[in-house]
Amino acid sequence: MKLKTTAEHLVSLLAAHGVEYLFLNPGTDTAPVQEAVYSLAEAGLPAPTVLLSTFESVSLAAAHAYWNMTGRPQAVFVHVDAGTQNLGAMVHNVLRGRAGVIVIAGKTPYGEDDGPSGGRNRPIQWQQDVPDQPGIVRGYAKWIQEITRPEMLDRAIGRAVQVAASSPAGMAYLTVSRDVLMDPPRLDHSRVSGFAVPVPAAADKGAVTRIATALAGAEAPVLVTSRAGRTAEGFAAVEALADLAGLPVTGRLETGLVNISSRHPSNLPNQAAAAAAISAADVVLVVESDVPWLPGTVTLRADAQVFHVDPDPAKASMPLWSYPVDLAVQADGPAALAAIAAELKAIAGARPEAAKRMADRAARLRDGAAGRPRQEPPAGPLTPLGVMSALNQVIDPEDIVIEEAVTNAPAVYEGLERTRPGTLTGSTGPGLGWALGGSLGVKLARPDRRVIAVTGDGSFLFGVPTSALTMAAEWETPFLTVILNNKGYRASRLPVYGLFPDGVSARRKTAVGTRFTSAPDYPALAAACHARGERVERAEDLVPALRRALAALDAGQAALVECVIEQD
Ligand SMILES: Cc1ncc(C[n+]2csc(CCOP(=O)(O)OP(=O)(O)O)c2C)c(N)n1
Ligand SMILES: [Mg+2]
């Protein structure tokens, strides 16, 4: 088949660059793309699978989660400026989560004709002509390009994939107008090769030696990481270094990933333990963490040495970032950890006293390990930790949990067993409403696994649940949502008490704008969207309810379990 339109060329190029999914919310701008998908299919030519998105933020979270699972960027097609605006806070999560994603937005046509060239023929196409459509995402996108001519398309798509996937990964934002999409394609010099994604940087040899030497000589070192476990190799490298150096590991401050098994003796299960370990440390190794500790909870030792390894240790996207760092190393975290472990092994081989010190530390960690999470009473009112105990009883080690539990995130980290890489993921960003779309993306990437979102009730509502659950049915990507329903925004109430301990709100034991007095009937909402829903109020009822929900998942239906929790 000879390609007829630039839209056909666009869709072909996405497939040629390995984009498997095109999350599409169509509008007048996308007609050539919609036609291209069918025409390529009829000609037997490859195209990404198109999945209908009924809300843009949900599909962007899905693409972000797909990246978390695979390291492969997917494409989200949105309708001009309005669709771009509906990407909402998920754009921020992509930035902070360093997720490689491609967003393509239509742009209103340049031409003013009513003919076949795709020009303007509806009033909205003048209204859509805004001065700075990419400005909507400018503070967050890694790279922005407007496709103004058919002959630039191959480079625009090649660059988009290349830039999105290169470390630190991020969003490539493209705009393309309907009349350009209708133009005949320029295939004469079109190429898909030569857009190499840079190999992640290895750490400088001298820096690796300095860090390994410091760890070998340290009295109380600690490893702080938020993302080193993002790959199976990184997870293995964290555990290998922890075993070798007898290092406590903290990676629990930012919402996110499992970096070390919750059963590993080095795992620091909560923020208090993390803050204590960092305050006591003479060597602090920070690997891929944006917020290694809260200054208000940690006082570094005067003699502490801080090493910082990150693909972007300068944190250029954060105007104020002033953690004290003695040696900053620009490198891929997982690779650097493996190199540090290899160097440390060599040092241990050459210096028996260092080997003994590290082995003693590892033994002390094993002796002092908290062991399995605290078990909650099996009956009575539900508590967040009780929900985790119940989940531990019913989910498999390979099931994948998405965490958006906000003030109950510590209960997830402390109470939920996650022992394998990639089995806990999240937005690692500040925009709530990620978990439902994220679950869709995880399920697409890992169709063989069960996917379980643990969310606050507020976060569930931010996730556009009617769209997300409908999309789960449409895409055949069922997931289970466990709502920790404390009837509102606890995270927005506690700071009022914190800043005004003797204030009116604290005295009234409530704060404006934080209580849901007319919350939805969550199981009914689920039922309206093809999902199985259940409400649970007592601990003894939760395990059977979760089992019923998981059975629905196994039968291909999304499920929701609302856990009613009384919290201040
Ligand atoms: C998109 C977005 N809007 C608003 C906020 C501010 N915010 C942070 S936490 C929170 C409340 C979350 O409520 P819920 O998920 O029920 O968790 P809880 O605080 O009850 O633990 C809000 C509104 C945000 N982070 N993201
Ligand atoms: Mg809540």
Residue pLDDT, tens place only, 388-418: 999 999 999 999 999 999 999 999 999 999 9
pLDDT at 443 (0 to 100): 98
How far does the centroid of ligand 2 lie from the alpha carbon of residue 474, in Å?
A: 28
| Chain-centre distance for alpha carbon 324 | 27
Is 31 in contact with 3 (CB distance < 8 Å)? no
What is the pLDDT confidence band of residue 114, given thresholds at 50, 70 and 90? confident
Global confidence as pTM: 0.97
What is the pLDDT confidence band of residue 255, given thresholds at 50, 70 and 90? low
Q: How far apart are CA 347 and CA 525, in angstroms?
A: 60
How far does the centroid of ligand 2 lie from the alpha carbon of residue 349, in Å?
A: 52
Looking at all shown ligands, the one closest to residue 491's CA atom is 1
Evaluate if residue 254 carries a pLDDT over 70.
no
Q: Residues 279, 282, 286, CA angle at the centre, nearest 5°?
A: 75
Average pLDDT estimate for 98-109? 98
Atom nearest to 460 CA in ligand 1: 15
Q: How far apart are CA 272 and CA 264, in angstroms?
A: 18
Q: Is 221 in the pocket of ligand 1 (CB under 6 A)?
A: no
How far does the centroid of ligand 1 lie from the alpha carbon of residue 380, in Å?
A: 27
For 362, phi and psi rounded to 5 degrees? Answer: -60, -40
User: Helix, strand or coil for residue 330?
Assistant: strand
Q: Whose CA is nearest to atom 4 of ligand 1?
A: 432
pLDDT at 378 (0 to 100): 81
Looking at all shown ligands, the one closest to residue 384's CA atom is 1
Looking at all shown ligands, the one closest to residue 486's CA atom is 2
Looking at all shown ligands, the one closest to residue 493's CA atom is 1
Q: Whose CA is nearest to atom 16 of ligand 1?
A: 458
**At a CB cut-off of 8 Å and minimum separation 6, what does 225 contact?**
238, 249, 250, 251, 259, 286, 287, 288, 289, 333
Provide the token pair at 22: 């095109």
Evaluate if residue 375 carries a pLDDT over 70.
no
Q: Whose CA is nearest to atom 3 of ligand 1?
A: 432
How far does the centroid of ligand 1 lie from the alpha carbon of residue 215, in Å?
A: 39
Q: Whose CA is nearest to atom 17 of ligand 1?
A: 456
Looking at all shown ligands, the one closest to residue 458's CA atom is 1
Average pLDDT estimate for 251-274? 87
Atom nearest to 486 CA in ligand 1: 20
Q: Is 458 in the pocket of ligand 1 (CB under 6 A)?
A: yes
How far does the centroid of ligand 2 lie from the alpha carbon of residue 480, in Å?
A: 18
Atom nearest to 431 CA in ligand 1: 26
How far does the centroid of ligand 1 lie from the alpha carbon of residue 523, in Å?
A: 21
Mutate to test the pocket of ligand 1, among 383, 427, 492, 516 (most ligand atoms within 8 A of CB): 492
pLDDT at 67 (0 to 100): 98
| E-assigned strand segments in 157-302 | 171-177, 221-225, 249-250, 283-287
More confident residue, 413 or 150: 150
Q: Is 257 in the pocket of ligand 1 (CB under 6 A)?
A: no
How far does the centroid of ligand 1 lie from the alpha carbon of residue 226, in Å?
A: 21
